[in-house]
């Protein structure tokens, strides 16, 4: 299996398992610190610019945290491993919605912003359904030769531009709370973003970009070190691809989400997951399809149509569940903690089935 990585693959190959484990520990610490800086910068910018943090999470933060998926997928498409791009994009939606949002729900009752959820939330659902519909229609027409061509890539990128434009427009229409209003942290303490907002906007921008860079590159180092270490101890590449790589490219969303909860900015997690799901379709798969046609069927696999049988249906079930939870959360004002149980459970079941069938 050939992966397109942000850091040179040669840096990790041939290293001892113990050294790779050391790199893994350092990378985890770096990702956590980078996420801390990214959340601080994003929350401060939200307050300084007068935008809801959920909107910042659904646009700026999501563009940053989906960059590992984008980099891996686009470079994979360019290098002739186009099948990896489509699976990585859909697998990341499953990880973002099932694991990250699910774990977030288990940790705290996440806030529900009806205005945003009824706009970005529908774009999230519509993007996933559009992708699945296109894949199934193309397979019905072309069979094993079905691919997402550059025309689909142009469509998705055009929708991406529309989404970013509408997100800014919706943010201006949104009647949100003042930046000085405190939020409630996970332990019930008040977290006032006004203190963060007093910091210079250049400082906040630099802090956010430094945090983003650390998260992205440390996350890539973590994926590569864990993957090669697992290979050294006899774990198959198929299992690595269905677990470590899929989880690794979603690691920034996971760490940023948990860090956002810890720092009292839970709305960032909600916005980041919604935005990441949208961008995994329009940004990651869209740019990858522009780079090279993406095959829907893998003729080398034991089950060539596995993408249509397991990942796509799982993604759709996840998005339907999330949409139903949004309906209830908009009535209650927050997502209930029990909602994390079916989402995390479905993610675990997907990983197990993916490993077995692969």
In a domain, 344, yes or no: yes
* pLDDT score for 249: 66
What's CA 152's distance to the chain center, in Å?
Answer: 21
CATH number at residue 172: 1.20.1420.30
In a domain, 298, yes or no: yes
Tell me the Cα Rg of the chain. Answer: 20
In a domain, 4, yes or no: no
Range of 23's domain?
9-357
As for how many domains the chain has, the answer is 1
CB within 8 Å of 38: residues ≥ 6 apart: 61, 64, 207, 208, 211, 212, 215, 256, 259
In a domain, 332, yes or no: yes
Across residues 297-302, what is the average pLDDT? 69
Report the 10 Å Cβ neighbour count for 99: 25
Across residues 154-168, what is the average pLDDT? 90
Encoding tokens for residue 292? 């090279």
> By CB neighbour count within 10 A (0-12 exposed, 13-18 middle, 19+ buried), where does 332 fall?
exposed
CA separation (Å) from 37 to 31, 59, 133, 142, 314? 10, 17, 39, 47, 33
Give the DSSP H/E element, type plus range, for residue 155: helix 150-173
In a domain, 1, yes or no: no
In a domain, 338, yes or no: yes
Question: pLDDT: is 227 or 263 the higher one?
Answer: 263
**Is the pLDDT at 237 greater than 50, yes or no?**
no
Question: pLDDT: is 91 or 122 the higher one?
Answer: 122
Nearest in space to 250 (alpha carbons), one of 102, 44, 48: 102
In a domain, 183, yes or no: yes
CB within 8 Å of 230: residues ≥ 6 apart: 239, 240, 244
What's CA 41's distance to the chain center, in Å?
Answer: 19
Ranges of beta strands (E only) in 112-158 are 147-148
pLDDT in tens, 300-344: 666 677 788 888 999 999 999 999 999 999 898 899 999 999 999
Report the 10 Å Cβ neighbour count for 79: 14
In a domain, 280, yes or no: yes
Give the DSSP H/E element, type plus range, for residue 107: helix 102-107
Give the DSSP H/E element, type plus range, for residue 247: helix 246-249
> Per mean pLDDT, which range of 91-100, 135-144, 172-181, 278-287 is the poorest?
172-181
CA separation (Å) from 262 to 63, 183, 276, 296, 341? 22, 12, 20, 39, 20
> Per mean pLDDT, which range of 75-89, 139-153, 293-307, 321-335 is the poorest?
75-89
Nearest in space to 318 (alpha carbons), one of 95, 132, 105: 95
SS3 116: helix
Percent of the chain exceeding pLDDT 70 equals 72
DSSP string over 286-341: HHHHHHS-EES--TTSSSTTHHHHTHHHHHHHHHHHHHHHHHHHHHHSB--GGGHH
Report the 10 Å Cβ neighbour count for 131: 25
Encoding tokens for residue 243? 């677990």
Encoding tokens for residue 152? 């689909």
**Cβ pair 57, 275 in contact under 8 A:** yes
Question: Is the pTM value of this prediction over 0.85?
Answer: no
* pLDDT score for 11: 84
**Cβ pair 318, 343 in contact under 8 A:** yes
pLDDT in tens, 23-61: 877 887 787 677 677 767 776 777 677 666 666 666 666
């Amino acid at each position: 299996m050939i992966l397109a990585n942000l850091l040179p693959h040669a840096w990790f190959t041939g290293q001892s398992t113990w050294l790779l484990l050391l790199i893994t520990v350092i990378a985890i610490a770096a990702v956590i610190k980078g996420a801390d800086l990214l959340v601080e910068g994003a929350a401060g910018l939200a307050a300084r610019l007068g935008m809801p943090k959920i909107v910042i999470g659904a646009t700026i933060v999501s563009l940053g945290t989906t960059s590992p998926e984008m980099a891996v997928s686009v470079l994979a498409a360019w290098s002739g491993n186009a099948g990896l791009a489509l699976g990585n994009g859909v697998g990341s939606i499953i990880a973002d919605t099932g694991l990250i949002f699910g774990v977030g729900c288990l940790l705290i009752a996440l806030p529900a912003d009806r205005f945003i959820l009824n706009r970005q939330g529908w774009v999230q659902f519509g993007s996933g359904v559009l992708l699945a519909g296109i894949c199934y229609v193309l397979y019905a027409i072309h069979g094993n030769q079905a691919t997402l061509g550059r025309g689909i890539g142009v469509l998705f990128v055009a929708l991406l531009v529309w989404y970013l434009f509408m997100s800014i427009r919706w943010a201006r229409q949104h009647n949100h709370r003042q930046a000085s209003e405190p939020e409630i942290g996970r332990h019930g303490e008040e977290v006032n973003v006004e203190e963060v907002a007093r910091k210079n906007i250049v400082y906040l921008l630099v802090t956010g970009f430094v945090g983003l860079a650390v998260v992205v590159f440390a996350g890539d180092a973590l994926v590569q070190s864990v993957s090669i270490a697992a290979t050294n101890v006899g774990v198959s590449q198929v299992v690595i691809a269905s677990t470590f790589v899929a989880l690794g490219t979603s690691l920034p969303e996971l760490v940023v989400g948990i860090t956002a909860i810890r720092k009292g900015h839970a709305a960032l997690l909600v916005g980041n997951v919604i935005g990441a799901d949208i961008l995994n379709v329009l940004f990651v798969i869209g740019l990858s399809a522009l780079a090279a046609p993406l095959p829907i069927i893998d003729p080398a696999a034991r089950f060539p149509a596995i993408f249509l049988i397991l990942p796509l249906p799982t993604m759709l079930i996840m998005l339907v569940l999330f949409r139903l939870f949004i309906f209830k959360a908009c009535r209650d004002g927050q997502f209930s903690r029990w909602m994390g149980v079916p989402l995390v459970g479905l993610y675990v079941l997907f990983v197990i089935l993916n490993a077995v069938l692969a």
